[in-house]
Every structure is written in C-alpha cells, then in structure tokens.
Structure 1
Amino acid sequence: MDNNDIKTIQWFPGHMAKTRRAISANLKLVDAVAELIDARTPMSSRNPEIDTLTANKPRIVLLNKCDLADANATAAWVNYLKRENVTALAVDCKSGKGLNKLMPTLKATVLRELMEKRERSGMGGAPIRMMILGIPNVGKSSLINRLAGGKRAKVEDRPGVTRTKQWVKLQDNTELLDMPGVLWPKFEDQSAAVRLAFTGAISDDILDIETLAMKLLSHLAESYPQSLTERYKIELSADDDGLALLEKVGRKRGMVISGGEINTERAAITVLDEFRSGKLGRITLELPPTKE
C-alpha cells in the first residue's frame, strides 16, 4: 500500500503509557491473558508490545468481529496462529458467536497445566482470573458485556474510551480484568496504521478522511471489486484511482453540490461508515504470511 500521499500516522496519548505500566503491574493478579484482535486486520491490530508486556503469561487470541471479515481469511489466520503455537478463536463479541468455546478452550488448552495443578492440590474451585487486552475499539467492552450477560463495561465507538481498569465477575467462577486499549509508541509500518484507520481503531480526527476513503476504495477495487459494484452500482475501470472511485460513489449516491461538483467529503464518510458496519460485505484487509 503506497502511503506517500497520506501524512505519517502517530497516535500515542498520555494514558497509553500509563496503560502499559498498568498491564505489567497487574499481570501477577491474573492466570491468563485474552488478547482481542480485529479479524479484518489480524496482524495490524496486534500490538507488537504485548508479547513483551505479558512475558510468559498463558494467552488466548480472539479474532473479534469475524462476522465482518472474510470467513476463508479468518480460518487461514486461525490456522496460521496455530502453527505459531498460539491458541486462537474466531468470535463476534456483539452477537456472541464463538464465545461458547472460550472458557472450555481456556481450561483444556491454555490453562491445562494450572487446572491440573489446582485439582491435585485441592484448589479446583479457585476462580480463573483473566486480563482482557487489545488496541482501542477492538471490542473488549463488548466481550465483557456478552460474557457477563449485561452491560458491565462502558461501550462507545470512540477509540480509547476505557480509561481505567475494571474487574468483572462472571457466574462461572471467572473474573475478568478489563484494561484500557493500548496502542504503541510508533507505527513502524504505515500500511498497518492505515489499515487500523480504515477500521476506526485510530481516531478520524487525526486523518484526512477523503484521502483515507480513497485508499480504502483503491484497496477494495483490487481485492474485493464485487463489493463495490454490488453496493454502489458503479462500473470499475483499470484506470480508476482513489479519487475517481470516490467521485463515482458520490455521483451515484446523489452527493452533487453547486456546479456539478461531487461532495467528496460526504462520500468519504459514507464509504468508511459502510465498510466499518459491514454493509460492503465480509472483507479482510490482510492475509497471513504464506508458509515457506
């Protein structure tokens, strides 16, 4: 993805540094870590610092929003992570899809040694404590609310809304520690930053929304052309750049202002909103590395 025409994306608010320190300080309180990533951007939405921050703590990776992602691509990612010795599940925290496998998998695989040790020592009834980690807007609060059977954590569509840690007790003798979303100090790969911006993990306030929509449309025209033609009823041409695609969408949706000019800002907002809500279909923005 060529990012020469989009400004360098960096976003590291002060509370992010505090969150990193809090993760390290609270790890001793939990038995395992559940890391949420976005199934549409599994690599880009994995904080590269989590491996270091969580040390050797047992971990399960949840590919959230799988209902918005390409099902075949999600299966490929689960298999890839398995080859990397990472236990992973495809879930959708809003609908609850796949979450019935979380605790059984945790007990039988991720925490198997701990569970057996507790049984041998007569502590089989001790609660399982799990830290919930992930970047902003990846669905941590939705996960907790679904597992708790009600709204126990504040949910908003604004990145970074969870400011402090929250303990939530579940009925099955499990306790969840919800941590604020944490990004990392510097995006070494601007393509990853752009993909996070597509999904809304990075605030639109720091980006040029029209340029972002043009980037997304160019990517979709190459990887998911049918999604664009079916949703917007437009014809695609090999000569179309991002601006041409954005103008086609705007014209088709009647977003024309005085003089016949297309309101590209309004069209950009529409494209990004419809992608993020799944109206463009099930789309995955990156595939796992191929096996050597």
Structure 2
Amino acid sequence: MEQTKALNALEPYLALTKSATAPRAAADLVTQATSNPNTYVFAELLQAPQIQALSQTPEYAPYLQLLEIFSHGTYQTYTTAQTSTPSLPPLNDAQVLKLRQLSLLTLARNPHNLTYTNLQTTLGLPSPRAVEELVISAIYAGLIEAQLDPRHQTVHVSGVAPLRDPEPNSIPSALAALRAFSARCETTLQDLENQVTTVRSAAISRATEKQTASQTQAKLLEDQRRADTNASALGAHTRGQNRIIDAAVARLRGGGAASLGVQSRSGKRGSGSLETSQDSDEAMDVDEEDPDEGDVGQGRKQRQSRRKL
C-alpha cells in the first residue's frame, strides 16, 4: 500500500521529465521530487534520460548524486559525500527529514543499529528526544511499525515498508541471497515432508497395533465368556451328580444302620434266650438230681418254689 502510494506521488515528476530538457529544469525536478513528503522511491526518476544527462554537466552533476543518495543511500552517506564533493546541494528541512526517514528504513534491517545512541550519531540528531520524534514521524508516515523503549534507550521495530530502491550492482548479490534462501526453503520443506511421512507411518502403525490389540482383547473376552459358560454348565451338572451320590450314600448308611440295629436287637434276644435255656437246663438238672442226699420233702418244696417262680 505504501509502495503504491509512493509510486503515485512520483508519477507527476516522471511526466515532467519529458519537458525537462535543460539541465537546470532537471535539477529543479530533483529538488522538488526529494522534497515531496509522499515520495520515497526514486528508481524510475533516476533512470530517466533527462536526469541521467545531468552527469554530463559538471555544474548540475551533484544533483544526480543527490538523487542517488535519496534512492538508496543514507544520511551518513550524504554527510560523507559532502566532504568529498563540496558542491553537493544543501538540503532543506523537508529533504533532511525525508533522508533521515529513509535512512531509518535501512538501519531497521539490523536491530543492533536501533539504539538511541547509534541513531543519534548516524542520523545527525541532537538529542534522544529528536530520535523519538523522528521515529514517531516514520510511524505516522507508514514507513515502519515500531515501539519506543526510553528505559532501555532502544527502538523495537516489528515491520518495515518496502520503500527503498536497490543499490546499483546489487541485483546479482540479491539473486544469490534469494537462491540460497530458496534452497534453504526446499531443504526445510523436504525435512517437513519426511517428518510428515514418519508421523503418518507411526500413526498407521499405532492404529494397526491398536486394532490388533482390540481384536485380541475381544477374542480373549469371548473365549473367557465361553469358558465361564461351559464351567457354569459343568458345575451345575456336577453339583446335581454330587447331590444324587450324597443321597444314595445317605440311604445306604441309613439302611445299614437299621439292619445293624435289627441284628443287635435279635442278638440280644438270642443271647437272652440262650441264657434262659441255660438257666432252664440248670434248673432241670437241679430237678433231676438224685434226692439221696437230701430230704424228699425238701426236694419237693424246692420244686414247688421253682414252679411258682
């Protein structure tokens, strides 16, 4: 946007070059263009034949040099050129402000150049306050995006407008820098593609492993469920068999005890009968004894008493 605005501001001066056939007119055109507050690019004006013709006139040749300084030089370049070229045209206030603003654009490429002390020395400013005023004017003109840091005496620049013309013979070096930058970009893109491929492969591997693990887990759960079902069925059958066996054993034990009880009772009865028979036999033996040794009557009494019994 700023570049378009600067080119539009330069258009009237480009049109005037067609009629500036005299060196004096061309020199005045240079002064007017560099004093305009909206012109910041001068490459097209510098390439105009009428402006280049100033180099053929020693009196007005310094105007061509002045336009070159405004195109791609700095305020320090101007002060140095004044030493070697005393005829260099003096700057009016508008030109001084314009050249210092353009110099700030060049210095902003390196953050180490943006201390108050360095800017004050490089731009020929009398005080730190003048440095701040210059930076503020550049910000309002849309030349830079910056913040002032008075505590640390530093200017923090976050953006610079592309309003400086390239220096002569700087195209090959610029192309070399661009090629180097392009090569670094291609290398970075290749590294990123490799990393993306690696990440995708890892993601696919993790997804495959997760799917396999899920399938294995599902199979194990199904096998466990079937095993639990079979175990439940087998356990119920076994418990039923155990109950039947326990009942049969209980019946067997109950029947054996009953028979044993019958046998014991019969045995007791049998033993009782035997004893009774023995007593009877003894009694009979007593009855059948010969009564020679006792009284016959006494024997009768004994028999009667036994009979009563």
Bin the TM-score by the shorter chain.
under 0.3
Higher normalized helix content (fraction of residues): 2
Larger RCO: Structure 1 or Structure 2 (Cα < 8 Å, ≥ 6 residues apart)? Answer: 1
Structure number, greater radius of gyration: 2
Higher normalized strand content (fraction of residues): 1
Q: TM-score, normalized by length of structure 1?
A: 0.26
Q: TM-score, normalized by length of structure 2?
A: 0.25
